[in-house]
Structure 1
Amino acid sequence: MPESVRPAESEATTHPGAVHPVDERLPARRLVPAALQHIAAMYAGVVAPPLIIGPACGLDARDQTFLIAASLLVAGAATMLQTLGLGRFVGNRLPFVNAASSAGIGPMLAIADQSHGTHRLPTILGAVMIAGAFCLLVGPFFGRLMRFFPHQVIGVVITLIGVTLIPVPVQWARGGSAAAPDFNSLGNLALAGFTLVVIIAMQRFFTGFLKQIALLLGMLVGTLAAIPFGKVNTGAFTNAATVALPTPFRFGAPEFQPAAIVSMCIVMLVLMTESSAGMLAIGEITDRTVDRSTVTRGLRTDGVATFLGSMFGSCATSAFAQNVGVVQLTRVRSRFVVASAGLVLVVLGLFPKLGAAVALVPMPVLGGAGIVLFGTIAVGGIRSLVKINLDDAPNIVIIAVSLAVGIIPLAAPDVRDVHGVLVTPGIYHDFPSWAQTILGSGISAGALTAVLLNLVFNHLGARRRAAAAEHAVAVR
């Protein structure tokens, strides 16, 4: 791996016998709150795919509960596998969260739309299963691309992860769903703003451990403040099942439709790009070198989790960028913290009543916390960009164009009303579905642009230019 791609080693690695912060085992009093912060940051994202896909496939409330439980269970198992590793085959052994990605929701809804009755979910899960096998097959080739990810590319990708996620907490701050009766109300925005101010105040005045768990404390204060105004909905907790044991093929044997499989394999390529970018981001934040083998093992984990998870009803699995922000904000870099969060997710999946308790945190409170969280990721990207020469014209072009391409989906998205009817088509609305999948993700579109421009400026013809320079020096 070229030196330019290697994150700086921390002090812990310069002293023989010292434990790197990534491998540090924290005492329970620090580990548990830090793990709960990861759960709070990711919970809404983990349950979002089953909450959307379930109704589209005609599931009743009971089956919907099992679909959500499967998503939590697989996310927890995948996260533990990723952070703890299994030999040299899977696991990047970084504080890295894996869970069902929302990136595949659009294609999965399209598959459900093109299928009929009880065939909808089996067709989706069959396509997800093949996509997992596809990831296992091509993952090692992705690992070989790491030499094409210098700081110009890494910085762009990390910045885009933060910037493209900002609409998510903004939507949460407004109330979560446009169909909610109080969506965009002053009450919701005030609650989000209050939570944001509380977290900022804690970051300013707290020190040590309390400062590290400011995100969790801020969400707790925000939730307590929401109770008198009726913003805490206990219905989900009351109606949730107590136990939901995972059952393979509960929703029927997988069905394999070529069009659905191709669509999900394209989604998997996008998720692999985002996972690779997430691993590079974590490497930068934790001062741990991310090389080809690290990325390969990480992507294998995605493949294994996606393939096996499909048997229980889970969607395609990949990196969770919001948890990169938690590591960046708290500076708690231990992978065992994230592994503990994975264990909690497994328990939440087995006991939906506990999962529903986590969901008591109102959407506006999550929104206020998310603004801090995702903005922090963008700062990590900027930190990477300042390591390069920003007076160099090629670097400026690579960064400027890649960031612009990544922001286009945010600037011109599909706009729909509260009933889901398209009001204004986005810029890529009339593109083929595979192009929409790739270009519609600002992270993947920006990453691919940065890699291609880096090839054009820094790789193609590099030997010829170096030889010409050497010849010029020799002539002098």
Structure 2
Amino acid sequence: MTTHAAPPAPPADAPAPSVLSVGFGERLPAGRTALFAVQHLLALTGIWVFPNVIGSALKLSSDEVALMIQACFLLTGVVTILQSSRVLKLPIVQGPTAAFMVAIISSGATYGLGTAFGSMAVAGLVFMLLTIPLKRFGLFGRVSAFVSSPIVLGTLFVIIGAQLASIGAGGWFGTAGSPSYGLLALVVTIATGLIVLLCLVLGTGILKRGAVFWGIVGGSVVALLVGQWSFPDLTAAPLLGAPHLLPYGFGVSLPVVVLMLVAFLQAGTESMGMYTMIASWGGETVDTARVNRGLFAEFAGTVLGALFGGIGTTSYPENAGIVRVSGIGSRFVTMTAGGIAVALAFFPPVSLFLAGISGPVLSAATTILFGVIAVSGIQMLAAVRWDDLNLAVGATAFIVALGAQFIPTAISSALPSSVATVVTSPMMIGMFLLLGLHGAVNHGLRPLLARRGQPRRVVAPLVPHTEGNPSA
């Protein structure tokens, strides 16, 4: 019997072998490249869903929402092209994130959209300084380590999901006073929700990844058939037209800048994880300098996009899932998707059409989407060690953030506008409470108690575990 020596073990820090059938630097035929690029775009529902949610919350006209959608196409496309080509050289797809959407709703209601987007641009400049891709620079990782704690991001995501619930559910029955208000609108809402859920539960591949998209398409068909929706008039928009610079004006407010800084932290932290994960699929590693290049491009793109009314971006996990499931890791595919998005930004009728989606259809799809956001926060919180200190941080921030919405108007209206904005916005007050309590308790009090030898008690759940004992 012939024996063979075992191959030498790879170094501990060596990248894993590629799990992709098409590598990052490989090209596909033009037809397949376009097909997979469109698949990526179908997963980017945030480009037009989030502007519609903002429009519904702030009572914007279809034309104003269309301008935001145009800017989102531009921002998404530019940053995706940069990440796929010269910067990261990875199949990264960027898209609007819910953290920025909620920040825009919260600040836009009080300060106006001009101040919301202007403050986003200023906050983006701050983070560009934190991620300068030079040696000894790039401090983002140190800053994000504090904010990305599961108790901070997890609780904040649950608060965001709860805050958004009223926006989604508020449109289930259509618009009050309209002829279609009531039962027919609810039929469209239920039909849309069922299609989204069926795609999520039973679908595979592009059907599952684009569940929200297919739900909106199917729901729109149902709305059309029952007379709840008609195609918007696109003749008012020119066939070709560039996104508008400062379409909502420009302003800056310190409380809004702080709010946007937290949104940038969430977006950047998520992107850092995506860079590392996707690179590992292709057998590559990303060092600190490369991560900083990617974040710098993302933040710079968001600054540019904010000047046109675009919602800040992050690296989309849905598109990362497409890369992993399909095995197509070619960065030329995602670069093409970015190019298509940029092209769509210069066709105003496309944005105007997407801004005219039926209200009940949008409400049904976003209700599920907001539920996913809240549950993702609960998943993060599962990693928290719930001792009495963490319970004090999470429980206090959660209940105060949601309860402050019900402060009597006579009290909130007497406060300075900057204070009232923070106090009455669940995301804003939740953010300040979480950062303050987490810093004071977990980075101040906890080390002090540990030095004194005072162990913290892990809090038992109030409801006993009854798995396997239904009668308990």
Which of 218, 221, 231 is the equivalent residue of 2:215?
218
Would the aligned equivalents of 1:389 and 1:395 in 2 still touch at CA under 8 Å? yes
Q: How do 1:24-39 residues align onto structure 2 when only pairs under 5 Å count?
A: 29=35, 31-39=37-45
In structure 1, the residue matched to 2:264 is 275
Cα 1:373–1:384, aligned 2, differ >3 Å: closer, same or farther?
A: same
What is the CA–CA distance in structure 2 between the aligned matches of 1:144 and 1:170, rounded to whole Å?
A: 39
Deviation at residue 234 of structure 1 after TM alignment: 1.9
Q: How do 1:263-412 residues align onto structure 2 when only pairs under 5 Å count?
A: 263=253, 265-280=254-269, 288=277, 300-301=296-297, 303-305=299-301, 307-309=303-305, 314-315=308-309, 317-319=311-313, 342-359=338-355, 361-390=357-386, 392-408=387-403, 411-412=405-406
What is the CA–CA distance in structure 2 between the aligned matches of 1:291 and 1:366, rounded to whole Å?
A: 41
Would the aligned equivalents of 2:189 and 2:361 in 1 still touch at CA under 8 Å? yes
The residue identity in structure 1 corresponding to 2:363 is: G
In structure 1, the residue matched to 2:426 is 442
* SS, match of residue 312 in structure 2: strand
RMSD value over aligned CA atoms?
A: 5.0
Deviation at residue 244 of structure 1 after TM alignment: 0.3
Would the aligned equivalents of 2:302 and 2:310 in 1 still touch at CA under 8 Å? yes
Deviations 1:112-159 (A, max 9, x none): 7xxxxxxx97x9987776565455456766653223232222321232
The residue identity in structure 2 corresponding to 1:455 is: G
Deviation at residue 350 of structure 1 after TM alignment: 0.1
Deviation at residue 339 of structure 1 after TM alignment: 6.6
Structure 1 position 146 matched with structure 2 position 151: no
Would the aligned equivalents of 1:212 and 1:330 in 2 still touch at CA under 8 Å? no
- Which consecutive unaligned segments of at least 5 residues does structure 1 have? 1-12, 113-119, 414-423, 471-476
Deviations 1:39-92 (A, max 9, x none): 3x4414336768999989xxx97xx6994475244433454267548648xx99
In structure 2, the residue matched to 1:469 is 453
Would the aligned equivalents of 2:212 and 2:365 in 1 still touch at CA under 8 Å? yes
Cα 1:243–1:103, aligned 2, differ >3 Å: closer, same or farther?
A: same
Cα 1:210–1:381, aligned 2, differ >3 Å: closer, same or farther?
A: same
Cα 1:37–1:291, aligned 2, differ >3 Å: closer, same or farther?
A: same
Cα 1:274–1:220, aligned 2, differ >3 Å: closer, same or farther?
A: same
The residue identity in structure 2 corresponding to 1:35 is: L
Would the aligned equivalents of 2:72 and 2:305 in 1 still touch at CA under 8 Å? no
Deviation at residue 359 of structure 1 after TM alignment: 3.8
Deviations 1:318-373 (A, max 9, x none): 2479x778989999798978876654442232001222333453221122111221
In structure 2, the residue matched to 1:474 is none
In structure 2, the residue matched to 1:416 is none
What is the CA–CA distance in structure 1 between the aligned matches of 2:289 and 2:435, rounded to whole Å?
A: 19
The residue identity in structure 2 corresponding to 1:350 is: F
Structure 1 position 232 matched with structure 2 position 229: yes
The residue identity in structure 1 corresponding to 2:38 is: V
Would the aligned equivalents of 1:158 and 1:278 in 2 still touch at CA under 8 Å? no
**Larger fraction in helix:** 1
Would the aligned equivalents of 2:241 and 2:347 in 1 still touch at CA under 8 Å? yes
Deviation at residue 196 of structure 1 after TM alignment: 0.8
Which of 428, 439, 451 is the equivalent residue of 2:435?
451
Cα 1:105–1:367, aligned 2, differ >3 Å: closer, same or farther?
A: closer
What is the CA–CA distance in structure 2 between the aligned matches of 1:80 and 1:298, rounded to whole Å?
A: 10
In structure 2, the residue matched to 1:7 is none
Deviation at residue 460 of structure 1 after TM alignment: 1.1
Deviation at residue 227 of structure 1 after TM alignment: 1.0
In structure 2, the residue matched to 1:80 is 80
What is the CA–CA distance in structure 2 between the aligned matches of 1:105 and 1:343, rounded to whole Å?
A: 29
The residue identity in structure 1 corresponding to 2:258 is: L
Residues paired across the two proteins, number: 417
* SS, match of residue 345 in structure 2: helix
Would the aligned equivalents of 1:241 and 1:352 in 2 still touch at CA under 8 Å? yes
Cα 1:14–1:182, aligned 2, differ >3 Å: closer, same or farther?
A: farther
Q: How do 1:39-50 residues align onto structure 2 when only pairs under 5 Å count?
A: 39=45, 41-46=46-51
The residue identity in structure 2 corresponding to 1:399 is: G
The residue identity in structure 2 corresponding to 1:460 is: G
Cα 1:68–1:435, aligned 2, differ >3 Å: closer, same or farther?
A: same
Q: How do 1:114-129 residues align onto structure 2 when only pairs under 5 Å count?
A: none
Deviation at residue 404 of structure 1 after TM alignment: 1.6
Structure 1 position 188 matched with structure 2 position 185: yes
Would the aligned equivalents of 1:398 and 1:454 in 2 still touch at CA under 8 Å? yes
TM-score (norm 2): 0.68
Deviation at residue 98 of structure 1 after TM alignment: 3.5
What is the CA–CA distance in structure 2 between the aligned matches of 1:184 and 1:330, rounded to whole Å?
A: 42
Deviations 1:238-293 (A, max 9, x none): 43221003576899xx88xxxx43x1x43232122023224445677998499998
Would the aligned equivalents of 1:402 and 1:449 in 2 still touch at CA under 8 Å? yes
The residue identity in structure 2 corresponding to 1:451 is: L
Percent of paired sites with the same residue: 21
Specify the structure having the higher radius of gyration (Cα): 2
Structure 1 position 157 matched with structure 2 position 139: no
Deviations 1:353-397 (A, max 9, x none): 22233345322112211122121122222112122333x222222
What is the CA–CA distance in structure 2 between the aligned matches of 1:127 and 1:347, rounded to whole Å?
A: 27
